[in-house]
Structure 1
Amino acid sequence: MTPPHRIALLFNGSKVYDRGIITGIGNYLSSTRARWDLFLEEDFLCRLRGIERWQGDGIIADFDDPAMAPALAAMRMPVVAVGGSYQDAGAYPPRVPYVATDNFALIELAYRHLIEAGLTRFACFSLPPSESNRWAQEREAAFRQLVAGDGGKALVYHGLGTSASLWDSAVQRQIAWLQSLPKPIGIIAVTDARARQLLQACLTAGIAVPEQVALIGIDNDPLTRTLTRVPLSSVIQGTERMGQLAAQLLHQMLHGKAPAGERVLVAPAGINVQSSSLHQPLGHPYVMRALHYIRQYACQGIKTAQVAQYVGVSRSSLEAHFRRQLGRSVHDEILRFKLNAAAAGLASGERPLQELAQACGFKSAQYLYSVFRREYGCTPREFVAPVAGQGLQAAAGVLLQSGAQHGAT
C-alpha cells in the first residue's frame, strides 16, 4: 500500500478562523480516499523557522501572516495558500493556488443587514494598519466603497492596538468616538474581538445597543459570545468551505495536476443575527434606557421594579410608556429576551437543556419547558426543529422574529 502523504497545516489553532479551516480540511479527508498524516501545532509561528528543511509532501498555510510567503517561497513541494481576498491582484503570492475569504462580501453582508434594520448612518471599527492585518484594511476599504456608493459618509475609527498598558486609554478613546457619532448609527467591526471591545465601551458609557448603536462583528466566535452581556450579531465566514477547497487543491497537486496560481473566492456563510444589531427606532428615552438594561441583565432574573429603578421612574409610569411604545409590558419584554436567548442556545446545540435554562434565567429545565408550552404551544425542541436545520444564521433570525411576534402580551 502507498504510504500516506505527510502534510503540514500551518495555522494558529487558537483562532476560530483557523480552526474552521482545519475543520474543513478534516471534512474533506473524511469524505474522500485521501490518506494524509497531518503535521499540526497550535501555533505555526513556533515552527516556521526551518520549515524549508521539513521532509514532507505538501503544505496548506495561512498566508495572512506576512512571514509566510517568504518562508515558503523556496519550497519544492506543493503549497496551497489560504487567506483574505484583495482588490489588488498584485497582493496575492505568485504561482501559488490561493483560497480566499471574500472580504468585500463579508462587509457587504453586514452593511446590507444594518440597512435592513432601518439605519441610514454607518461607521467601521477597524485596526491600526499594519502588514499583519492587511485583511482588516481590505474590509475597511470595502466599507468605504459601499457607503460612498450609496452617497453616504464613511466614518472609520482605527483605535489602539490591544495591550494591557493601553487598555484604559483605548476604552476611553472608544467612548469618546462613540459619543461623537450621530445617532442612531450602525457600526461594523472588522472582527468579533473588535466588536466586543466596542460593545463594552457602549455599556460603560450608557449608550443603548442597538437603539443608538447597532453593532455587528465578523467571525461568529463562540468564545466572544460568552464574554458579552448583550448577544453579538456576527457575519459567519465560510471557513469550513475554504478548508475543503484548499485540501482539494492540494490533493490534485499531489496527484500530478497543477492548479498553480488558481484563486478561489469563498463567500460568507451568513449572519448569526442577535440583539446587538436588531435596531428598533424608539422615540422615548425611558423605553430605550429600560431596554438597554434588560438586554444586559434579563437572564440574571431581574424584575420590573429593578428596571424602573434603573431608569429612574415609577413602575407604573414605565409600564405605561412600554405599552404605548411596544404594545407589551416590561415583564413581557424580559421574558421575550430570555426565551430568545434560550431558543438561540437550543439552535446552536452548545449546551444541555438544564444548563441552558439556568443560563437564561429560568429556575429549571422543567420550568423552561412549561414556559415554552405556554407561550408557543410547543416544547423547546419542537420550537427549534423547523429552523435549526437551516443553520444557525437562519435559526437565530427566525427565533428572534418569533419572539417579537409571540411574546406574552
Structure 2
Amino acid sequence: MAKILLLTDFSSGYSRNLLKGIVRYSKEVGNWSFQRMPLYYRMLYGENGVVEWAKKWQADAIIAQLSDVNIELLNDLNIPIIVQNYRDRNKAVSNLTGDYFNTGVMAAKFFLNRGYRNFAFYGFKGAIWSRERADGYSHEIEKQGYKLAVLENDNKDKEEWSYNHTVLGNWLQSLPKPVALFACDDHFALQISETCNVYNINVPDDIAILGVDNDDLLCNISDPPLSSIVLDVENGGYNAGKLLHQLITKEITEPFNIVVNPLIIERRKSTEKYAVSDKNIRTILNYIEKNYANHLSVEELVKQVPLSRRVLEKKFKEETGESLYQYIQNYRIDQFTRLLITTDYSLFEAALQSGFENYKNVSRVFRKYKSLSPAEYRKRYKCNSSVEEIEY
C-alpha cells in the first residue's frame, strides 16, 4: 500500500477536486494511505520539519503546494514529489500545472463576444498562474486593438487573500465603464464583487466579473453570483495519482508535468449583460441566447430588428468580432461541450439540445474546434465517464 503525504490547502475548491481525482485513482489500484499535512505546519516548522515528518511516517511520495521548492532538501528523501507550481515551474520535479495562458485567452474571447471594449485584470503578484492568465488575456484583447488595465495584489504569500479595500475601490472607480474584469481566480473575483458592493458599483452593468476555478461556495456567496472558468481539476488529480504510481513503481524515472486545462465557462449573473452599444445587436444577442437550441436562421434574426440583412451582418461583426453564422455556431458548440461533460445525454441528444439537427455535422465541426471527436472529448474530460458511445 502506497503512503502519500499531502501538503496542500484543503479549504479551496481546487484542492478538494484535486484530491477527489487522486483518491479516485488510488481506489482503482488498491486503496492508498494518505497523511494530510496542513500548510501551517511548514510555516511553523519549515521544510526541515516536513522532511522529518515524511521520514518518520515513511512516505512513499509527496504532493505539495509550495511557493518555493528547496530541491536539495526534498531530494534527500529520495521519493517522488509532485509540486503544485506557484511562482514558477521547476524542471527538477514533476509539476502539477495548468494551461494558464489559454485560460486567459478563453476569458478574453468570452468578453469580446459580448461586445466589451474596456478590459481589466486583477491578479496576485509573483504567482505564475496569475501572471500567465494575465498574459493570455492581454494577448487576445491587444490583438483586437484594445488595452488592458492591471492591478496586482502584492501582499506577502501568507497574506495573499487579504486586500486593501480603499486601493481596490479607487482602482475600480477609475476604470472606464462598462468594463470586463477578469480575476486570476475566484478568491480574487470575490474581492472585486465585495468591493463593488461597498462602493456602490453595479455588477454586471458597470463591471462584469469572471473568475477561475468555479469554486461553488465562493461563486455563490457573491452578490451577484460569479461566473467562473471551469478547470479539468479532478481529472488532473487522477492523472497526478497515475503519475505518482508510475514513479513509485519505477515505470518512469524522469519528472513529468501534468497540465490542467480550462474546459468551459460557468455563466452566472456577474456576466449576464452584453456591452454592445447598438440596441438592435443587443436584441439579436439576447434572441440567440434564448433560441439557440431551435432552428435559427439569419433570415429569422433579420425579422427581429428594423435592419436589412446586409446592415445587420455588418453591425453584428463590428460589435462582436464574428459573423452571425460564426457566433451562432460557436455558441452552440459551447453548449454542446457543456452537455458532454456535465450530463449523461447521448451524443445525439446533446447535439439536438444544442441546436444541431445533423449529428454528423456537429461531430465534424467539434473535431475542428477541439481536435477530438465528441466521444473522445467526453471520455477524456467528463469525470467518472465510463459510457462507451458510438460515433455516427
Q: Same fold (TM over 0.5)?
A: yes
User: Could you say which residue in structure 2 is the equivalent of 1:50?
Assistant: 49
User: Could you say which residue in structure 2 is the equivalent of 1:114?
Assistant: 111
Give the SS at the match of 1:229.
coil
User: Could you say which residue in structure 1 is the equivalent of 2:258?
Assistant: 264
CA-to-aligned-CA distance 1:8-58 (integer Å, 9 cap, x gap)? 12212122221121111011112x223421111343636753333323343
The question of whether the paired residues in 1 share the 8 Å contact of 2:4 and 2:63 is answered with no
The question of whether the paired residues in 2 share the 8 Å contact of 1:187 and 1:216 is answered with yes
User: Could you say which residue in structure 2 is the equivalent of 1:75?
Assistant: 77
CA-to-aligned-CA distance 1:97-123 (integer Å, 9 cap, x gap)? 223121112222222211122212211
Distance 1:166 1:240, change over 3 A: closer
CA distance in 2, matches of 1:69, 1:220: 32
CA distance in 2, matches of 1:160, 1:252: 38
CA-to-aligned-CA distance 1:317-361 (integer Å, 9 cap, x gap)? xxxxxxxx98xxxxxxxxx9xxxxxxxxxxxxxxxxxxxxxxxxx
Distance 1:204 1:219, change over 3 A: same
Which amino acid counterpart does residue 51 of structure 1 have in structure 2? V
Distance 1:168 1:97, change over 3 A: closer
User: Could you say which residue in structure 2 is the equivalent of 1:345?
Assistant: none
The question of whether the paired residues in 2 share the 8 Å contact of 1:8 and 1:39 is answered with yes
CA-to-aligned-CA distance 1:282-316 (integer Å, 9 cap, x gap)? 889xxxxxxxxxxxxxxxxxxxxxxxxxxxxxxxx
Q: Does 1:61 align with 2:63?
A: yes
User: Could you say which residue in structure 2 is the equivalent of 1:275?
Assistant: 269
Which amino acid counterpart does residue 205 of structure 2 have in structure 1? E
User: Could you say which residue in structure 2 is the equivalent of 1:93?
Assistant: 90
Which amino acid counterpart does residue 81 of structure 2 have in structure 1? V
Give the SS at the match of 1:40.
strand
User: Could you say which residue in structure 2 is the equivalent of 1:225?
Assistant: 219
Q: Does 1:146 align with 2:140?
A: yes
CA-to-aligned-CA distance 1:201-247 (integer Å, 9 cap, x gap)? 22232322112211101121222134212011011222211111111
User: Could you say which residue in structure 1 is the equivalent of 2:150?
Assistant: 156
Q: Does 1:209 align with 2:208?
A: no
User: Could you say which residue in structure 2 is the equivalent of 1:36?
Assistant: 32
Deviation at 1:272, TM superposition (A): 1.3
Distance 1:145 1:5, change over 3 A: same
Deviation at 1:265, TM superposition (A): 2.0
Deviation at 1:61, TM superposition (A): 2.1
Give the SS at the match of 1:18.
helix
CA distance in 2, matches of 1:18, 1:167: 16
Q: Does 1:193 align with 2:187?
A: yes
Give the SS at the match of 2:255.
coil
Ranges in structure 2 where 5+ consecutive residues have no aligned partner: 284-289, 291-337, 355-392
Q: Does 1:178 align with 2:172?
A: yes
Give the alignment's TM-score, normalised by structure 1: 0.61
The question of whether the paired residues in 2 share the 8 Å contact of 1:60 and 1:246 is answered with no
Give me the CA root mean square deviation: 3.7
CA distance in 1, matches of 2:276, 2:90: 49
Which of residues 371, 387, 391 is equivalent to 2:342? 391
Which amino acid counterpart does residue 77 of structure 1 have in structure 2? I
Distance 1:270 1:69, change over 3 A: farther
Which amino acid counterpart does residue 145 of structure 2 have in structure 1? G
Between 251-260 and 69-78, the greater mean CA deviation after superposition: 69-78
User: Could you say which residue in structure 1 is the equivalent of 2:370?
Assistant: none
The question of whether the paired residues in 1 share the 8 Å contact of 2:114 and 2:275 is answered with no
The question of whether the paired residues in 1 share the 8 Å contact of 2:103 and 2:262 is answered with yes
Distance 1:71 1:210, change over 3 A: farther
CA-to-aligned-CA distance 1:227-274 (integer Å, 9 cap, x gap)? 212011011222211111111011111222124132232212322110
Between 199-208 and 247-256, the greater mean CA deviation after superposition: 199-208
Which amino acid counterpart does residue 229 of structure 1 have in structure 2? D
Which of residues 4, 12, 31 is equivalent to 2:9? 12
Which amino acid counterpart does residue 81 of structure 1 have in structure 2? V
Alignment length (residue pairs) = 286
Between 116-125 and 243-252, the greater mean CA deviation after superposition: 116-125
User: Could you say which residue in structure 1 is the equivalent of 2:300?
Assistant: none
Alignment of 1:357-368 (within 5 A): none
Deviation at 1:162, TM superposition (A): 9.3
Between 228-237 and 40-49, the greater mean CA deviation after superposition: 40-49
User: Could you say which residue in structure 2 is the equivalent of 1:246?
Assistant: 240
CA distance in 2, matches of 1:254, 1:168: 39
User: Could you say which residue in structure 1 is the equivalent of 2:303?
Assistant: none
Between 147-156 and 35-44, the greater mean CA deviation after superposition: 35-44
Task: Indicate the percent of aligned positions where both proteins have the same amino acid.
Answer: 23
